[in-house]
Amino acid sequence: MAQNPIQSTATTRNQRVVVASRRRTDTWARRVFFVITVLPIGLIAVVLIGLLYRSWPILSRYPLVDLLFGVDWKPSEGRFGFYSFIVGTVWVTVVGVGLAIPPCILVAIYLAEYAGARIRLLAKPILDVLAAIPPVVYGVWGLLSVVPLVETVLGPWSQQLLGFWGLFAVQQPTGFSVLAGGIVLAVMITPLIIAVIFEIFNTVPVDLRNASLAIGATRWETIQRVLLPQVMPGIIAAIVLGASRAFGETIAVLMVVGNIAQVPHSLFDAAYPLPALIANNYGEMMSIPLYDAALLCAALILLVIILLFNIFATVVLKRFVK
């Protein structure tokens, strides 16, 4: 039966309208998603510009090299050296991440490859609860448990060990130290790293495991030679994520690290990380010239360090994947 030309024309016109409407919807959706994607980058740029603007009075008065590598922190005398705070931040972060990496990888391997369904169901909510605990609770725990442990057990043990080997003597530790801050940080970032690595192991196809086991490999050989090479980029990304959080941690660390403006030379020395400097002093002694600008400059330095660390880790990760 032949179709009416008028009806055919109307149908074609309706189809064109529907197609045009879909294209407009797709275009608007693409633009909205683009804006949402660019928004975090814009926020970082706004924060950087704001910190740079508020820090400009001290940056214009003192050379950047003197600020970054100056050891003395005496605002009342006009000396603003951030070197001891930067080194303290790096020390605590490196110790915390170094203590967290081995158990995190081993626990994630066990949960992904060895544990039964009941253990996984029990472990996941526990990890979620540990990740949701407020940092101040970890700080109180560190103050009550980790600091006495460092002072009464780990410190004297290290003195005896170094004295036995004829190495330099360590001063009697007070417990408030880089090691105490590192232990607290390690406990804080452990749930995050374990959860990420566990999910990465679950993305490996089951066929790879079955193929390795089918040719006679043991489960550990399968993990070591098949799975780990596949998930290594993800493990690195998880470690970078944990380190980024450790860099900016404030409350828990300042409660156990000692907060003494000095360059630490051992794990048992007190330190003063940049986040603790900002949290302890911002809003106080603002009558001192350039004090406000100095603290905001410390925030700018911390943000730049974290950004550079993440950019460097991303570049290394991409080259590793290639």
Instruction: Say whether both 35 and 71 belong to one domain.
Output: no
Instruction: Say whether both 53 and 115 belong to one domain.
Output: no
Instruction: Say whether both 48 and 102 belong to one domain.
Output: no
Instruction: Say whether both 57 and 73 belong to one domain.
Output: no
Give the 3-state secondary structure percentages of the chain, helix then strand then coil, rounded to 5.
Answer: 80, 0, 20
What is the number of other CB atoms lying within 10 angstroms of the CB of residue 300?
Answer: 20
Confidence at 288, pLDDT banded by 50, 70, 90 = confident
Which residues, at least 6 apart from 133, have a Cβ–Cβ distance to it below 8 Å?
A: none
Instruction: Say whether both 115 and 29 belong to one domain.
Output: no
Q: Show which of 46, 61, 76 is a domain's final residue.
A: 61
Predicted local confidence at residue 266, as pLDDT? 82
Q: Which residue has the higher pLDDT, 321 or 73?
A: 73
Q: Show which of 61, 92, 113 is a domain's final residue.
A: 61
How many helices (H) and strands (E) are present in the chain, helices listed first? Answer: 14, 2
Which residues, at least 6 apart from 305, have a Cβ–Cβ distance to it below 8 Å?
A: 86, 89, 247
Predicted local confidence at residue 238, as pLDDT? 85
Instruction: Say whether both 105 and 19 belong to one domain.
Output: no
Q: What integer is the mean pLDDT of 246-267?
A: 84
Predicted local confidence at residue 167, as pLDDT? 40
Predicted local confidence at residue 166, as pLDDT? 42
Query: Distances in Å between the alpha carbon of 142 and those of 10, 254, 267, 306?
Result: 76, 11, 16, 25
Q: Which of 142, 222, 148 lies closest to 183 in space, CA to CA?
A: 142
Q: Answer whether residue 320 shows pLDDT above 70.
A: no
Burial 215-239 (b: 16+ CB within 10 A, else e): eebeeeebbeebbeeebeebbbbbb
Q: Answer whether residue 136 shows pLDDT above 70.
A: yes
* 55-114 per-position pLDDT tens digit: 888 888 888 888 888 888 888 787 888 888 999 888 999 999 999 999 999 999 998 888
Instruction: Say whether both 153 and 11 belong to one domain.
Output: no
Number of domains forming the structure of the chain = 2
Instruction: Say whether both 32 and 102 belong to one domain.
Output: no
Q: Which amino acid is at 271?
A: A
Per the structure block, which two tokens stand in for 149? 């442990």
Q: Answer whether residue 321 shows pLDDT above 80.
A: no
Predicted local confidence at residue 165, as pLDDT? 43
As a whole number of angstroms, the distance between CA 296 and CA 273 comes to: 14
Q: Specify whether the CB–CB gap between 275 and 253 falls below 8 A.
A: yes
Q: At what angle do helices 83-109 and 178-202 cross, to 10 degrees?
A: 40
Please give the sequence-ordered ranges of beta strands (E in DSSP) within 113-244, or none if there are none: none
Predicted local confidence at residue 169, as pLDDT? 45
Predicted local confidence at residue 11, as pLDDT? 63
Domain CATH number, residue 234: 1.10.3720.10
Instruction: Say whether both 20 and 130 belong to one domain.
Output: no
Confidence at 239, pLDDT banded by 50, 70, 90 = confident
Q: Specify whether the CB–CB gap between 182 and 95 falls below 8 A.
A: yes
Query: Distances in Å between the alpha carbon of 60 and those of 52, 78, 172, 244?
Result: 11, 14, 42, 29
Which residues, at least 6 apart from 223, have a Cβ–Cβ distance to it below 8 Å?
A: 109, 113
Instruction: Say whether both 42 and 191 belong to one domain.
Output: no
* 30-41 per-position pLDDT tens digit: 888 888 888 888
Structural domain harbouring 234: 65-321
Instruction: Say whether both 113 and 163 belong to one domain.
Output: yes
Predicted local confidence at residue 168, as pLDDT? 44
Q: Which amino acid is at 193?
A: I
Q: Show which of 61, 93, 109 is a domain's final residue.
A: 61
End-to-end CA distance of the chain: 62
Q: What integer is the mean pLDDT of 169-197?
A: 83
Q: What integer is the mean pLDDT of 122-131?
A: 85
Q: What is the pTM for the complete model shown?
A: 0.81
Which residues make beta-bridge pairs with 271? 258
Confidence at 24, pLDDT banded by 50, 70, 90 = confident
Rounded to an integer, what is the distance from CA 248 to the centroid of its chain? 7
Instruction: Say whether both 53 and 106 belong to one domain.
Output: no
Percent of the chain with pLDDT over 90: 9
Confidence at 233, pLDDT banded by 50, 70, 90 = confident
Maximum pairwise Cα distance, the chain: 105
Q: Answer whether residue 286 shows pLDDT above 50.
A: yes
